[in-house]
């Protein structure tokens, strides 16, 4: 497999990442041979249905896969640091410091028993030598940046804040140490649409003002379209397509991407089209080589060759990859 953009300027370089969950009954391969890069200041979307392995991938980057069942192989490089196989203490120095993460549900992601200030302060205590006054000053500075003015918020408990506020707190917590990479795992899914737009705006401004790279995980192509430079589409633990956002949205190559697009409401296309749900469920894959395209059972374009060995991930133009032997042709415009 040829990785796209061989070079050293990437901030995050994931190569041939595999995550397997080994239990007494069976072994499940949740992520299989995933490779992608995130460059400085770039926002990369990781897209797929729930259970496709996108969250597992993001947790594996931080070394937070479920233990002891989760086994990670392959390579994850942050700058010059190899993360796979690093010691727990080395990984701890990276988490919350060089790579931060924000999660889907801002209420349950914050500890209900501790004040906001306490939860922010422990990050500084852990990764910096800021203490006391200087720590408070830093926290206020960051809170201000994410749009929460006022020192009194430090004394508030999470339940005293609104959903949008809580997510801003989570983002502030993630930014305290100026991370090189921010992983955002569906950060807007649980929020109202208006708040959603505000949070997206906030993330966009971060990338511009601080040059933070963002790995943005979502099942919602609409949100991805607004924020991301490039998109990686995952299905059943593997990458099926990768492309710059505009190209992916307008000319999807993989039938799965096409199906995802058709199942997402769009405002940029004329009204009147019907939403098409994708029939069936994504499979849970065993720990072995596939004998067919994983999407074949649900694929509307399935043909004979699809069940004879798994298609390889192949280049399809600059910065484009697809894993399909019968791609959607460039001629076809996505139906509306």
256 binds other proteins (CB under 8 A): no
Please state the closest distance from residue 91 (CB atom) to other proteins, in A. 8
Stretch in the footprint of other proteins (CB under 8 A) among 121-129, 244-252, 277-285, 305-313: 121-129
Chain-centroid distance, C-alpha 298: 24
Near other proteins in 42-81, by CB under 8 A: 62, 64
Please state the closest distance from residue 70 (CB atom) to other proteins, in A. 13
163 binds other proteins (CB under 8 A): no
110 binds other proteins (CB under 8 A): yes
Rounded CA-CA distance 332/2 in Å is: 27
Q: Residues with Cβ < 8 Å from 193, sequence gap 6 or more?
A: none
Stretch in the footprint of other proteins (CB under 8 A) among 28-36, 111-119, 199-207, 248-256: 111-119
170 binds other proteins (CB under 8 A): yes
Which is nearer to other proteins, 123 or 278 (by Cβ)?
123
The CB density around residue 32, as the number of other CB atoms within 10 Å, is 23
Q: Is 239 exposed, middle or buried (0-12, 13-18, 19+ CB in 10 A)?
A: buried
Q: Residues with Cβ < 8 Å from 187, sequence gap 6 or more?
A: 102, 103, 104, 106, 167, 170, 171, 199, 203, 216
Which is nearer to other proteins, 173 or 313 (by Cβ)?
173
Q: Is 292 exposed, middle or buried (0-12, 13-18, 19+ CB in 10 A)?
A: middle
Q: Which of residues 57, 65, 100, 245 is near other proteins by CB under 8 A?
A: 100
Which is nearer to other proteins, 176 or 259 (by Cβ)?
176
Q: Residues with Cβ < 8 Å from 240, sequence gap 6 or more?
A: 233, 234, 254, 256, 257, 295, 313, 322, 323, 324
Please state the closest distance from residue 115 (CB atom) to other proteins, in A. 8
Residues that bind other proteins (CB under 8 A): 62, 64, 89, 91-97, 100-101, 103, 105, 108-114, 122-123, 126-127, 157, 159, 170, 173
């Amino acid at each position: 497999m040829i990785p796209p953009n061989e070079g050293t300027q990437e901030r995050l370089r994931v190569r041939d990442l595999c995550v397997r969950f080994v239990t007494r009954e069976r072994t499940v391969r949740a992520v299989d041979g995933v490779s992608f890069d995130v460059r400085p200041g770039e926002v990369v979307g990781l897209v797929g249905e729930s259970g496709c392995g996108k969250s597992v991938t993001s947790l594996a980057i931080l070394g937070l896969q479920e233990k002891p069942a989760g086994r990670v192989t392959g390579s994850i490089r942050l700058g010059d640091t190899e993360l796979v196989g690093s010691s727990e203490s080395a990984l701890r120095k990276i988490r919350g410091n060089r790579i931060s993460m924000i999660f889907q549900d801002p209420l349950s992601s914050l500890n209900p028993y501790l004040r906001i200030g306490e939860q922010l302060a422990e990050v500084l205590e852990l990764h910096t030598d800021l203490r006391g006054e200087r720590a408070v000053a830093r926290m206020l500075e960051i809170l201000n940046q994410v749009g929460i003015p006022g020192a009194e918020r430090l004394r508030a408990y999470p339940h005293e804040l609104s959903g949008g506020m809580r997510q801003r707190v989570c983002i502030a917590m993630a930014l305290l140490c100026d991370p090189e990479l921010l992983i955002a795992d569906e950060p807007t899914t649980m929020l109202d649409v208006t708040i959603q737009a505000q949070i997206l705006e906030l993330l966009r401004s971060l990338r511009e003002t601080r040059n933070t790279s963002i790995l943005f995980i979502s099942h919602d192509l609409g949100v991805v379209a607004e924020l991301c430079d490039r998109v990686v589409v995952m299905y059943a633990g593997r990458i099926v397509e990768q492309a710059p956002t505009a190209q992916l949205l307008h000319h999807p190559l993989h039938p799965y991407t096409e199906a995802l697009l058709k199942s997402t409401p769009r405002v940029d296309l004329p009204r009147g089209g019907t939403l098409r749900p994708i029939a069936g469920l994504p499979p849970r894959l065993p720990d072995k080589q596939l004998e067919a395209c994983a999407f074949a059972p649900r694929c509307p374009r399935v043909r004979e060759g699809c069940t004879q060995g798994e298609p390889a991930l192949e280049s399809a133009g600059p910065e484009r990859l697809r894993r399909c032997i019968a791609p959607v042709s460039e001629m076809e415009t996505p139906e509306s």
